[in-house]
Structure 1
Amino acid sequence: MQWRVAVGDTVTVDQTVVEVETAKAVVDVPCPYAGRVVALHGAEGEVRPVGQPLITVAEPVTGRVDGGDPPGHAVYREEERAGSGNVLIGYGTGHGSSRRRRRPRLAAATDASGASDAATASGAAVAPSAAGRQVAVADREPGPPGPAQPLVISPIVRRLARERGVDLTTVRGSGPGGVVRRADVEAAARDVTGAPADGTARLTAVPNRPATTGRQPAPGDPRPVGAQDLVIPLTGIRRTIADKLSRSRREIPEVTIWVDADATGLLETRAAINAARPDRPVSILALFARICLSGLRRYPQLNARVDTEGQRIVQSAGVHLGIAAQTDRGLVVPVLRDAERLTTTELAAELAATTAAARAGELPPARLTGGTFTLNNYGVFGVDGSTPIINHPEAALLGIGRIVDKPWVVDGQLAVRKVTQLSLTFDHRVCDGGVAGGFLRHVADCVEQPALLIATV
């Protein structure tokens, strides 16, 4: 949690007062009141339980108070109309009682889901708006915004600016309407430091042992004498990832199988599609997504989850396809709902837009949950294979290795082909090896012979 106002500051309606980081997003928290900040509840970096107040604002009123102020003089009082259900996100439930007794105005973040667990280490909460829609709240830097506030939509851009020491009020945005983009901040950082902006997160050195050890560095040892360990708090999205993967490993008896596949024909098919329709290009990931959807139609056992409390397996009617995406804040899995209803061209467009929004931190939490099957292209990291952990509570995950030139036998002759390794990690509770092997073999056959895919869609 990072405050953008201090006690005594004057705030306006909808002015951002704090930025907190939830388990899934970094979101600005606006204040629904105009007035003077009386109290800030919680220090920066503190864990705030869901439902606790975040800020107290005194309402400005005009008139004479106790006979001591001239007419028209703006004074402040810590009062509100009794019965106002205002919360920090949204504008409350309206005024119920007409009692004369006034109470201090508190803007609180309230848990809409009934969850009892605390917010993340940066003070996250989820609060309902007046319409009952859940809104995630997140973390922000101190300092009240002035009239020259820059046009910044993405919290990731603001965080990047803080990390690089860039004053956003001096940055001219290149986005629509002057919105400051990440590239603008990186360019400004290069101007300030003269060094490239590499996106490396800043870590705080925390001494975990005496500052000096008396040890002399060995020849060629780059570490200085008295080097300190780096202690990184396991908070925010990093903590969520750790908890979810740990739960997956504890609860799911997972098995990984793999196969090498000749992707030469698939790459040729993609090139032919893009040559015919250059205005709507199709990515190789979109073709793999289409193949997965074909396989899940044939083997729906893998498009499922295990309900441990009900002791049952639930096969999903639609395929909500998760796409693993690496971001500056960690690994996230945005979901394409009812992906089987999309054409291959639509899949490509949705994949591009969704992954871009995920990396910019612009996806709402609802887009990061509810998947039924995950596609993970770890080949972009230059690796051939992996045994990934299933995205709980899903039952399976298909991994794609890098596509590289390898010797391959074609019609009895040795040739150089584009080869990739495909891996399927599955929950052994939902199916046995026959189903999993059949699915993976179907995927590999479609990769090697794209005509088979056309015959099944």
Structure 2
Amino acid sequence: MAIVSDASDASDVNCLEFKLPDLGEGLTEAEIVRWLVEIGDVVAVDQPVVEVETAKALVEVPCPYAGMVTARFGEEGAELPVGSPLLTVTVGPEVGAGAGGSSSDADRGSGGSAAGAAGAAGSAGAPAGDDDSSGNVLVGYGTSGAVAARRRRVRVTGGTRLDPVPSSTLRPGPVPVISPLVRRLAREHGLDLRGLAGSGPDGLILRSDVEQAIRAPAAIVTDRPARVEAGRAPEPAEAAPVAAVAGSRVPLRGMRGAVADKLARSRREIPDATCWVDADATAFMAARTAMNAAAGPTVPKISVLALLARVCTAALARFPELNSTVDTEAREIVRLPSVHLGFAAQTERGLVVPVVREADGRTTESLNDEFIRLTEAARSGALTPAELTGGTFTLNNYGVFGVDGSTPIINHPEAAMLGVGRIVPKPWVHEGELAVRQVVQLSLTFDHRVCDGGTAGGFLRYVADCVEQPAVLLRGV
């Protein structure tokens, strides 16, 4: 229901309440990472107003109204349930003109259709006939349309403050940092990223660069301005939340909490077993080198992961039992028609599993392109909830950590996970003689309810055969 801000002008000015929208994929709450607007700011239709972290991704939430922000609900770091008030916006002819520019721009931004306006009003609790909403309140990832420039004023409310960097040493132009988590860490400690030299590619500022600057003794200031509320003493300085110390408590919430719940459920419900085999990957690596050489220097190199994914989808076509899930209530095994291949990716936010849709219908090049896209999105914190859910089988390359084997926990509700260790030179009997070959350990963790050891062993043996003799794949093409 619209809240009238001035009884004398009730027909022209309304104070509308925007509630945290449904973020999709069964998510029921989100944590406020940072506010993108302050009270008193004028916002445009579909302008992002807050960045929130769900159990699956960082999301910028756009506001469906154009007007002036008159209230915000929740401090940074607070968790809000879906449907709770997020902010209020005062809308009216004069305010709308200031937010959207010309009156024609405001008309275009207000939605164009009665259905769109009604949809937005339903999300925010505004009347269905209100034309100040966009009708594009997100379910997951945001709304369409041009976003006006916005002011971002940051208040440091905790942590260690750093000495300001002299303006003469600041880097001109845009700051080379793509991770919102790096920006958040710097903001929490009052660190100006323009004064940092990044150690990443092309000067990219990494989290380690920010943490090193925070730990630098010369940068720490003890006279942090205290935050004082009515009737309360100033709060003591807070320790920088870089790492847990003995005796401390780290909340299991957000993505870390969702991962913990999912892993615990997997262990409770799935009777898993693991089998493994060593394979001679010399021919496999030689085939990859030949493929990349033939493609030329301008074409993205085919990764080991993309080749293994192609082997994986071929193996699942032969052993479809492993591309399934178990309906525990109906006591049924559900065979899935398509392979949505998840792959484990380590990021600054922790381990995530992006999903390549319809992997069984893709070529090796298509798989490679999608791995590149999703990996870049994972590292920058830009993965959407839809890109992190719906997997039917997971490929886990833990060889990048320099280890040979593992017995991972199955990504519930999937039925299996293929693990790949490092590929390293080892002594190997080749054609009756001892030789140094490129050897890899492959492991398969599977749900023993969907198949027995014979099926699991057959799947793993086929994968190993394709690694040892890549031409085996041609029989199924």
TM-score (norm. length: structure 1): 0.71
CA distance in 2, matches of 1:378, 1:291: 17
CA distance in 2, matches of 1:161, 1:184: 14
1:154/1:93 CA distance change after superposition, 3 Å: farther
Equivalent AA in structure 1 for residue 61 of structure 2: V
* Corresponding position of 1:135: 140
1:188/1:426 CA distance change after superposition, 3 Å: closer
Q: CA deviation at 1:423?
A: 0.4
| Partner deviation per Cα, 1:302-359 (whole Å, 9 max, x = no partner) | 0111111222111111111111111111111111111111111221222122212122
Verify the 8 A CA contact 2:446 2:456 in the aligned structure 1.
Answer: yes
* Corresponding position of 1:145: 152
Does the alignment pair 1:203 with 2:238? Answer: no
Q: CA deviation at 1:436?
A: 0.2
Name the SS for the 1:29 alignment partner: strand
Residue identity (%): 56
Q: Which has the higher helix share?
A: 2
Q: CA deviation at 1:442?
A: 0.6
Equivalent AA in structure 2 for residue 47 of structure 1: E
Name the SS for the 1:370 alignment partner: coil
Verify the 8 A CA contact 1:248 1:392 in the aligned structure 2.
Answer: yes
Verify the 8 A CA contact 2:43 2:69 in the aligned structure 1.
Answer: yes
Where structure 2 has 5 or more consecutive residues not aligned to the other structure, the ranges are 1-31, 96-115, 143-149, 154-172, 217-239
* Corresponding position of 1:399: 419
1:195/1:228 CA distance change after superposition, 3 Å: closer
* Corresponding position of 2:79: 47
* Corresponding position of 2:68: 36
Name the SS for the 1:134 alignment partner: coil
Where structure 1 has 5 or more consecutive residues not aligned to the other structure, the ranges are 64-82, 99-104, 108-128, 138-142, 175-180, 197-201, 207-226
Equivalent AA in structure 1 for residue 152 of structure 2: P
* Corresponding position of 1:380: 400
Does the alignment pair 1:24 with 2:56? Answer: yes
| Partner deviation per Cα, 1:202-240 (whole Å, 9 max, x = no partner) | 62688xxxxxxxxxxxxxxxxxxxx86443221211111
* Corresponding position of 2:327: 307
Name the SS for the 1:23 alignment partner: coil
Deviates more, 1:54-63 or 1:443-452: 54-63
Name the SS for the 1:135 alignment partner: coil
Does the alignment pair 1:240 with 2:272? Answer: no
- Partner of residue 91 from structure 2, selected from 30, 40, 59: 59
| Partner deviation per Cα, 1:274-319 (whole Å, 9 max, x = no partner) | 1111324211111111111111011000011111122211111111
1:312/1:228 CA distance change after superposition, 3 Å: closer
* Corresponding position of 1:95: 128
Verify the 8 A CA contact 1:36 1:60 in the aligned structure 2.
Answer: no
Equivalent AA in structure 1 for residue 276 of structure 2: W
Name the SS for the 2:49 alignment partner: strand
Equivalent AA in structure 1 for residue 140 of structure 2: V
Does the alignment pair 1:318 with 2:338? Answer: yes
- Partner of residue 368 from structure 2, selected from 348, 360, 363: 348
CA distance in 1, matches of 2:290, 2:306: 15
1:293/1:48 CA distance change after superposition, 3 Å: same
Q: CA deviation at 1:420?
A: 0.9
Aligned residues: 373
* Corresponding position of 1:283: 303
* Corresponding position of 1:223: none
1:325/1:88 CA distance change after superposition, 3 Å: farther
Name the SS for the 2:79 alignment partner: coil
Does the alignment pair 1:358 with 2:378? Answer: yes
* Corresponding position of 1:256: 274
Verify the 8 A CA contact 2:58 2:383 in the aligned structure 1.
Answer: no
CA distance in 1, matches of 2:397, 2:292: 21
Does the alignment pair 1:155 with 2:187? Answer: no
* Corresponding position of 1:389: 409
CA distance in 2, matches of 1:234, 1:182: 35
Q: CA deviation at 1:411?
A: 2.0
CA distance in 2, matches of 1:204, 1:323: 27
1:373/1:186 CA distance change after superposition, 3 Å: closer
CA distance in 2, matches of 1:241, 1:269: 37
Equivalent AA in structure 2 for residue 162 of structure 1: R
After superposition, residues 427-442 of structure 1 pair within 5 angstroms as 427-442=447-462
- Partner of residue 443 from structure 2, selected from 418, 423, 430: 423
